[in-house]
Amino acid sequence: MSEHNPADTAASPNPAGRSQGSFSPTPASVSAAPRLNPAQQQVMDELGSTDRPTFRDDLRDHLRFELEESIGQAVSDALADTEQTLFLSKHKLGMLHGCEARFVAEEQAEFAWSVPSARGTVAHKAIELFVTRRGNPSPIELTEDAMARLEADNRSISEFIQQLDEAERADLVGKVNNFVSTFIETFPPLNRKWVPVAESRVRADLCSDKVVLQGAIDLSLGRARGNEAGKVLIDLKTGKPHSSHIEDLRFYALLETMKLGTPPRLLVNYYLEAGQPRTEKVTEDLLWSTAMRVVDAIHKLLDLTAGTREPTITASGVCRFCPILDDCETGLAHLQDSSTAFTLDNSD
Ligand code: SF4
């Protein structure tokens, strides 16, 4: 296991002599830095590009104008006489563009923590501690520290952690420890010169604060110089790639652009189990199409909140996680078909 402390790590070496782009170490630091394994080197190669596009200065203003123009009247009609604020996260955005019936059901269901849902929150806290702590804390120390901090926090997860029995607690610690260990083993040691920031919050307040777009970026590296893009946004993922993951990052790229005025240069979904980054360059077209996706979602959200139409039903693999699956013929039929197709595919 690679033990590391961003505070102590001067830089990463390049044993294969390949370009490390904007994350290149200085010659003095190379001799002192640990060797990279091939998984870490792949991340360096894909994230360390010197390609830094420039964007026009007024992009942020144009994006805000178009967003507010496209939703302003509908928001005003729906919320003018209320104190209500519409919040849109990447999770809601994804669900609104998937099965609307599931979205409505999840909005009405009371959220309850479980070991699988707590795993991500604890793991991200542990990575946040990893980025900022001095010394060489082990993954298990980071995990236990993250658990202790969340347990003492004034959040709903505190109560959940406090009520875990020993076996459940060990299960959660084991899963998070695995997540953190894999990140440390497969991601290059973080150099403080790369400006690593974990759990960076972004939000955009629109339409006189009646609409809030918000999120938290797992990890960002680098920064913009003027209107020259330099930041890399990274989402850490367990499980296999899904098209919704890149949509999530595009949403964050939009929020980052509306915050800074200069977009990030690269979006990265980092799949921990495979040790594989999937990257996408940020372009102005990408930001505009994401802004229009947000506009569509807000109109859907207003319609569904007001109950002016029935939610649409769209079956997919996520049906198996839907709270109303037992009562949904479409979802049950889809999963039955999928499992039949899978059985036939594997029959020989
Ligand atoms: S089971 Fe599937 S199709 Fe049915 S409401 Fe849930 S997500 Fe939609």
Span 49-68, pLDDT tens digits = 778 999 999 999 999 999 99
Instruction: Clarify whether residues 178 and 203 are in a common domain.
Output: no
Closest residue CA from atom 7 of ligand 1: 319
Per-residue confidence at 9, pLDDT binned at 50, 70, 90?
very low
Mean pLDDT of all residues in 270-290? 94
Per-residue confidence at 13, pLDDT binned at 50, 70, 90?
very low
Q: Which has the closest alpha carbon to 228: 263, 279, 268?
A: 263
Task: Report the DSSP pairing between strands 266-271 and 211-221.
Answer: unpaired
* pLDDT on residue 135: 84
Q: SS3 of 270, please?
A: strand
Any ligand 1 atom below 6 A from CB of 95: no
Q: Which has the closest alpha carbon to 131: 215, 202, 217?
A: 217
CATH classification at residue 256 = 3.90.320
The dihedral region occupied by 307, where left means phi > 0, alpha psi between -120 and 50, and beta the remainder, is left
Any ligand 1 atom below 6 A from CB of 101: yes
Any ligand 1 atom below 6 A from CB of 338: no
- The pLDDT > 90 percentage for the chain reads 72
Q: Write down the mean pLDDT value for the chain.
A: 87
Q: SS3 of 267, please?
A: strand
Report pLDDT digits (tens) over 306-333.
999 999 999 998 999 899 999 999 999 9
pTM summary value: 0.86
Instruction: Clarify whether residues 89 and 181 are in a common domain.
Output: no
Which domain does 150 fall in, by range?
115-190
328 Cα nearest atom in ligand 1: 4
Any ligand 1 atom below 6 A from CB of 319: yes
Any ligand 1 atom below 6 A from CB of 325: yes
Q: How far is the CA of 297 from the centre of ligand 1 (A)?
A: 18
Q: Report whether 3 contacts 183 (CB < 8 A).
A: no
Report pLDDT digits (tens) over 78-101.
998 889 999 999 999 999 999 999
Structural domain contains residue 218: yes
For a mutational test of ligand 1's pocket, the pick from 312, 319, 334, i.e. the residue with the most ligand atoms closer than 8 A to its C-beta, is 319
* pLDDT on residue 81: 84
Q: SS3 of 157, please?
A: helix
Any ligand 1 atom below 6 A from CB of 324: yes
Instruction: Clarify whether residues 252 and 142 are in a common domain.
Output: no
- DSSP E strand stretches across the chain: 86-88, 197-206, 211-221, 232-237, 266-271, 276-281
Instruction: Clarify whether residues 144 and 213 are in a common domain.
Output: no
